[in-house]
Amino acid sequence: MKLFPTPLHGLHYVESSSYRDLRGAFARLFCADDLESLLGQRHIVHINHSHTMKSGAIRGMHYQLHPYSEMKFVRCLKGKVWDVALDLRTGSKTFLQWFGIELTPDNERMMVIPEGFAHGFQTLEPNSELLYLHTAPYMPSHEGGVRYDDPRVSIKWPMSVSDISSRDSQHVLLGDHFMGITA
């Protein structure tokens, strides 16, 4: 596994490589030893899988507040997505900046999203599937969201939106009063 920094401090992506032969392929999707510099003393506490049927659908932008802030490891198992992380950390030099990257099974990339970032994605192909590894349990009382079309952030989604949940479409816009969250 090779780690690559992004322009946003603390946000990385990882490239894996698969081993192919006549039978097919084998790939390591996660290795704590290879990712120790990012994972630190954290542990994976749950793994989620999402399946999104329509191209252009958006899920996100989600985050959890302290003390349930979570690091996420996100990988595309099927299809193609535009994966986005948004820095919400109070005092960060890259506060309210976002980074997006295409994730596919073929490019074998994984986004590593630290605490204090919101996360979301848009499907670029129908029937796209993601695998998420989380370092904190899901806690509904500590979740938050940023609207996908918030003008203060101006995320450039690659396609027009075909589908979004009512919950995600109703996140409150970030006003000038929003000063970030504590990771």
Residues labelled catalytic: 62, 132
Query: What span, in angstroms and rounded, lies between the C-alpha atoms of 79 and 64?
Result: 27
CA distances from 71 to 115, 125, 148 (A): 5, 26, 20
* H helical segments located in the chain: 36-39, 166-169
DSSP assignment letter at 129: E
Cα separation, 2 vs 132, whole angstroms? 19
Which burial class, exposed, middle or buried, applies to 65 when counting CB atoms under 10 A from its CB (0-12, 13-18, 19+)? middle
